[in-house]
Structure 1
Amino acid sequence: MTVRGVDRVAPAIPALPAGDVRQEAFERALQTQVGKSMQVAVLARLADGSFLVRVAEQNARMALPAGTQPGTELPMTLVSTHPRPAFQQAGAGQLIHPTLVQQELPGLRAPGTAALAAFRAQLAPAAEHAGADPRNAHVSLSDAGRTIARILSSGQQAAGEAASIRSTTPLTGPGTPEPARLAQALEGALAQSGLFYESHVAEWAEGKRPLPELLREPQMQRAVADGASKGMAAEADPAAFHLISQQLAAHENGRITWQGQVWPGQDMQWEIHKDAPEDGPRGEADTEPGWRSGLRLRFAGLGEIAATIVIAGDQLHIQLKAESGDTGALLRARSGELVAALGAAGSPLASLDIHSKQERGGE
């Protein structure tokens, strides 16, 4: 009886565990580089579609565009370091987050082209030609892992892109809507989008959410329409791919965008995201992240108005930007009514900034 020998197992390159001192040192080293351009050396395309790069003298994974070529250097701007480092590639809108790899790769401590040459020297010819990391050649995924990979690849969004909800019908009927009813409709547009379905199922199981609300969400509607057996086969449904991708994007980026009509003929774009804290010492009031909500509306008589609302702890800040100077002056003249209304509602303003594009240089 002949027993075949075991092939050499080449492990995948794991990410650093949370709280690792190397990750903390990496973030400290980048704090003085915010806003500056840095060269990122692309060493290889890994088996999972991400890329192994050399940045700030560290080896990391990055989710770069699919057409990126190993062996090149990319100029990237460091946008922020909190809550984690974020880079932006020239000409691209999305943010890219590096994840340090755990194992040391011999010969890759040199920066730039020296690191590229050192890495290419370690690659087998076939792997170098394919642009893949040979250490991932023997890595296999479970059935569940392959299913998740198919879902992610089918509905993948660009790194840093907000989860976008598009409404095909107006939230309210014609005419000026009642503020309370419009607020309720906007809340329902987010709550029933399916982005928070699993947490809503948990609330329903605890008796905190009624079943009729759960039945309005797309996952439940799909299960009811298709039958339980087909409804469970999410990997066969392109719509499910897209929704799962949106859920992951919302969780990863803390950012959601809603686009649609608030009433017939009135388009609106609304975005909600975590307001990243600024660098520097943080007091007790800054332990919880703030939230920023922004929307854009275009009115027939006033032109475009952009509103930004920031909630930080128990403080409320509002910024209004008008398209024209006349509209900006009108908003300032009526600002007292807004301040009084919010105060009466129990949400006093901490600050109110009203300006026009002309006053801020067309920003």
Structure 2
Amino acid sequence: MIPSLPNAVSTASQGTAQTLNQLRTSVDTSRLLEALSQPDSAPSLMVGELLTAKVADQLGNNQLAVLIKNALFTLSLPQGTHLPSDTLNLKVVSLSPTLTFQLQDGGKETPPPQDSSVAVKLSTASRYLTTLLSTPREGANAAEAGATAKHLPLQLDAGEHPPEQLAKQLQLNVKQSGLFYESHLKDFSNGLHPLEQLKQEPQAKLTLTMQALDEGQKNNNVVKPQLQELGHLVQRQLDGLEQRTVQFQGLAWPGQLMEMQIQQEPMENERQGDGQEDIPVWNTSLSLALPALGGMGVRVRLVGQSVQVSFKADDEDTSQLIRQHAARLRDGMEAAGLTLAGLAVSQNESAAE
């Protein structure tokens, strides 16, 4: 994932010395939008940062549901403010005690003539997504749910299955993660995706309907867990679209925790094939702590049929062991039809200190 800038602060944990009262005396209040709610895993924001918000829904009572950095916020709109479009240009003016934005594209504006005004009614799908992404997490597991919302469960057993079978299982994990459910629905309608595989995805196992959403307050014990699960999936889909990244967390084999990240790099014109088309570049990062070898991170970069591998180990003896067996890695790559274009082995800086 792309790290935040050093001076970026989380909207959920840090603030500024400037109070809201000070803001109201220094800024035109008719242009201030306060955040009434924000997601558990809020994106990093900085005071003075300029950003674009997409209006997802108008909730009534001068409240808006907007998407900021692919995260859903509910904002309080000043009385009499006319929205020029469904896209707002905002500036972050305060992080604490209340996250507050300043409208940059006009604030109060003269409303258009009545005969040219258009009544906006958000689609059912928009209201559906708004409900999902704004469903609060409750209880002791709220922080844990926010921390793991971006990770998908990993189901592998490297101790029992050969590499070929593990590769197929990982591919199945990705396909059935729910991240591509809508694409699979489209393929199914065109006869390109089996129904049985579609039924294995998380969305297909839920029983949520618009009626269930409307009656959610009456059936909290039944509906809310499904709302939270589906909300997690939608947020993962939004993160995947923005970052082109899929993250997994689980057991590589019984008792062995592992984290994996698969990311597609942005296309660059200089990476071209014979047909003058960009060659997709994929990065896979793996981190785990092995009983005998200690903590280790591996990064694999695939460009066409060429592979670059870099290891970072906590233990220098482990680094030496990897170097000694580099030929086995190269032979294994060749057997799979790949070329080992580069191998780097180093020790983690934190471990070396």
TM-score calculated relative to the size of structure 2: 0.58
Percent sequence identity is 25
> How many angstroms apart in 2 are the aligned matches of 1:104 and 1:233?
32
Q: What root-mean-square deviation, in Å, do the aligned CA atoms of Structure 1 and Structure 2 show?
A: 4.8
Q: Which amino acid aligns with 1:142?
A: L
2:255 to 239, 259, 265: 265
The answer to whether residue 230 in structure 2 is matched with residue 249 in structure 1 is: no
Q: Which amino acid aligns with 1:45?
A: L
Q: Which amino acid aligns with 1:329?
A: Q
The answer to whether residue 272 in structure 2 is matched with residue 284 in structure 1 is: yes
Q: Is the 8 A contact 2:267 2:278 kept in 1?
A: no
Q: Is the 8 A contact 1:155 1:241 kept in 2?
A: no
> How many angstroms apart in 2 are the aligned matches of 1:146 and 1:62?
17
> How many angstroms apart in 2 are the aligned matches of 1:335 and 1:282?
29
After superposition, residues 106-121 of structure 1 pair within 5 angstroms as none
Instruction: Tell me the CA shift for residue 47 of structure 1.
Output: 7.2
Q: Secondary structure of 1:213's partner?
A: helix
The answer to whether residue 151 in structure 2 is matched with residue 164 in structure 1 is: yes
The corresponding residue for 1:210 is: 194
Q: Is the 8 A contact 1:155 1:242 kept in 2?
A: no
The answer to whether residue 173 in structure 2 is matched with residue 185 in structure 1 is: no
**Structure 1 gap ranges (5+):** 1-33, 64-85, 87-100, 117-128
Instruction: Tell me the CA shift for residue 203 of structure 1.
Output: 2.0
After superposition, residues 1-363 of structure 1 pair within 5 angstroms as 44-45=32-33, 54=48, 60-61=51-52, 133=103, 135=108, 142=122, 144=124, 145-154=126-135, 163-167=150-154, 170-172=155-157, 175-223=159-207, 237-238=226-227, 239-276=229-266, 282=270, 284=272, 287-288=278-279, 290-357=281-348, 362=352
Q: Secondary structure of 1:284's partner?
A: coil
Q: Secondary structure of 1:298's partner?
A: strand
Q: Is the 8 A contact 1:260 1:268 kept in 2?
A: yes
Q: Is the 8 A contact 1:267 1:298 kept in 2?
A: yes
Instruction: Tell me the CA shift for residue 164 of structure 1.
Output: 1.4
> How many angstroms apart in 2 are the aligned matches of 1:229 and 1:195?
21
Alpha-carbon spacing, 1:362–1:231, altered in 2? closer, same or farther (3 Å):
farther
Q: Secondary structure of 1:307's partner?
A: strand
> How many angstroms apart in 2 are the aligned matches of 1:104 and 1:130?
13
Deviations 1:276-330 (A, max 9, x none): 478xx84536945522110112221111221101123443211111111111001
Deviations 1:182-225 (A, max 9, x none): 111111112111111111122222222222211111111224xx
Instruction: Tell me the CA shift for residue 60 of structure 1.
Output: 3.5
How many residues align? The count is 262
Q: Is the 8 A contact 2:51 2:89 kept in 1?
A: no
Mean alpha-carbon deviation: is it higher for 324-333 or for 244-253?
Answer: 244-253
> How many angstroms apart in 1 are the aligned matches of 2:178 and 2:100?
39
Q: Which amino acid aligns with 2:163?
A: P
Q: Secondary structure of 1:311's partner?
A: strand
Q: Which amino acid aligns with 1:166?
A: P
Alpha-carbon spacing, 1:192–1:231, altered in 2? closer, same or farther (3 Å):
farther
Alpha-carbon spacing, 1:47–1:218, altered in 2? closer, same or farther (3 Å):
same
Deviations 1:240-277 (A, max 9, x none): 22211211111122111100012211211001112347
**Structure 2 gap ranges (5+):** 9-17, 39-44, 55-68, 70-85, 94-98, 112-118, 138-142, 217-222
> How many angstroms apart in 2 are the aligned matches of 1:287 and 1:155?
42
Mean alpha-carbon deviation: is it higher for 340-349 or for 241-250?
Answer: 241-250
Q: Which amino acid aligns with 1:301?
A: A
> How many angstroms apart in 2 are the aligned matches of 1:46 and 1:209?
45
> How many angstroms apart in 2 are the aligned matches of 1:184 and 1:246?
22
Alpha-carbon spacing, 1:155–1:234, altered in 2? closer, same or farther (3 Å):
farther
Q: Is the 8 A contact 1:162 1:250 kept in 2?
A: no
Q: Is the 8 A contact 2:272 2:278 kept in 1?
A: yes
